[in-house]
Amino acid sequence: MSHSTSTSAATDTGWQEEWQPVVDAVGRDFLDGVITWGGDPVEPGAIRRYLEPLELDCALHTDREAARAAGFDDVTMPYTGVMPWTLPAAWEPGQVLFDSYDRDAQPVRSAINDAGLGIGPRTTGFFGTDVEIDFLRPVVAGERLGRRGKRLLSCKPKETSVGRGAFLTFESEVVSDRGPAASGYPEVVGRIRIGTYAYVPHAKDGER
C-alpha cells in the first residue's frame, strides 16, 4: 500500500517537472525580435465603426481638424481599440483557412491560438486570461501596427478544474511603421502583456 501511494505521488509531481524547461526560459524572446505586422493600416472608417456602438464622442477620434489642432496628423484610434490592428490577416487569397467541414473544425492557423514554444510539455487546451497594454502615444489613422518579439515574463505550473498546465505571461512591443525617418526603424508606441493558460484537459468520465 505504501509503495502504491509513493508511485502515485511521483506521477502527480511529474507533470510539473515537465514545465521546468519553460520556467528556466523566463526572460527569453521566443520570436527573437521579429515583427508581425497587422493585416491593414488603421483607417478613419474603422475608427468610426468602433465608436458607434460605444457612442464615444471625442473630437480627437472624429474630427480631423480638431485632432490636428491638438498636434496629431489625423484622427486617433481610442486606446481600447488598438489591439486588433496588431493582428495579421487570418486569411489571404490563395490560402485555405479551414481544411475540414466538421462542425467544430478549427482554423489551420490563428494569431490568437497557442502555437507552442518548442519546449516543455505538449498541451491541447489554451485560453487567454488577461491583457495589459501600456501606450507611449496615441495611434492615428494611416499607421500600420505590428508586434515585435514575444518575451516570456513568467511561467507558473498549476492544476485547475479544467486540467494540468501553466499560466504564462508574454510581452511584446507594439510598433508603428511611422518611425522617425532618420532612424529607419519602426517606432515603439506601446507594450502589450498577454496572460494565457496552456494545459492538458482532465479526462472525461469514462475515459482513461
Q: Is pLDDT at 164 greater than 70 in this prediction?
A: yes
The residue that leads in pLDDT, 114 or 137, is 137
User: Considering the entire predicted model, what is its pTM?
Assistant: 0.81
**3-class SS of residue 7:** helix
> Which tens digit of pLDDT belongs to each residue from 10-25?
457 789 999 999 999 9
Average pLDDT taken over every residue of the chain: 87
pLDDT in tens, 55-105: 999 999 999 999 999 999 999 999 999 999 999 988 888 888 888 888 877
CA neighbor of 145 nearest in space, from 181, 195, 179:
179
Residue 134 has pLDDT above 80, yes or no: yes
Which pairs with CB-CB distance under 8 Å and at least 24 residues apart come from 28-33?
Answer: 28/151, 28/152, 29/149, 29/150, 29/151, 29/152, 30/117, 30/118, 30/150, 30/151, 30/152, 30/170, 31/148, 31/149, 31/150, 31/172, 32/149, 33/148, 33/149
Domain ranges of the chain: 2-41+81-201
pLDDT at 117 over 90: no
